Amino acid sequence: MLSATVLVGAVWMWKIAWRSPPNYVPREGIRMRAPLMSDAEYERVLGSHARPFVYELLVGRGATLVYGATHTKDPSDPQIADLRRCFLEFEPTVVLVEGRPGSPVAGIGDPVKRFGESGLAVSLARTRGIPYWSWEPSSEEETRAMLGVFPKERVALFYILRPYVSDLRHGKPADPTAALERTRAQRVRWPGLDGSYASVAEIDAVWARDFRGLPDWRDTSDEFGWPGYLSEVSLRSRDLRTENMARSVLELCARGERVLVVCGSSHAVRARSSIDGDR
């Protein structure tokens, strides 16, 4: 009886407690088939490309379906039903998602409300028992690359603000300072970012100095880009991430996998030629 109870408890915990998916790390030898779409090329299609931007490609011995969503945490958004349909029809053998959706109680409630479209994809993958990863590079790898290009103060400011600025489109938290402090305390422990910002007050001071005349960070969303020098930092981060996504897809397809990729629409548009080699 005890062992049965333990088993039931373990199954229940598995259902509600999601570990954040590990980052997929493609081998060094995996190269994109073409460079990412340039900023100038993307600007020409920014106002006209489909949203969601969805395409299916045969790649090597495998195939990929890339679902480039307009980020949402609304379960009634038509994209959610569409993504579910795509999952069922494509029948992936592996799933790659943006971000790292997971928590000790992730399985309670609607995963879309907590983690957006990536939450749905992870939930479906878990239900089908197929592997899933984040297509993002690890924080250590990405930070190391960024510190080779930009000053530490700017890199740290970007990564501390990124979750808040990204989520603002879904609603403003009751206490923005407390929300940012939780992220600050975590991210100043990332390799290379230690000793960067000791408090939110220091971030306030830098923002007032460098972004005078612009809205406070508490009212800044990345939906239409980042302000000032943070725009350049953001664009480099975006390209590093998109490159990792494309290379991950190519490696998995070379193994014969059917790869469902869930990402923002700009990543999907920029990565297409890098995956199929067609300009």
Q: How many CB atoms lie within 10 A of CB 28?
A: 7
Say what percent of the chain tops pLDDT 90: 86
Q: What mean pLDDT is reported for the chain?
A: 92
**Helix count and strand count (H, E) for the chain:** 10, 5
Please state the pTM of the whole predicted model. Answer: 0.87
Task: Provide φ and ψ at 193, rounded to 5°.
Answer: -105, 0
- What's the confidence (pLDDT) of residue 14? 53
- What's the confidence (pLDDT) of residue 116? 95
- What's the confidence (pLDDT) of residue 17? 84
48 in Cβ contact with 265 (< 8 Å): no
pLDDT digits (tens, 9 = 90+) for 124-171: 999 999 999 999 999 999 999 999 999 999 999 999 999 999 999 889
195 by DSSP, 3-state: which?
coil
**Residue 4 to residues 9, 12, 131: CA-CA distances in angstroms?**
8, 12, 27
Which residues does 253 contact at the CB level (< 8 Å), separation at least 6? Answer: 59, 60, 61, 62, 63, 64, 259
- Dist. CA 253–CA 92, nearest whole Å: 11
pLDDT surpassing 60 at residue 4: no
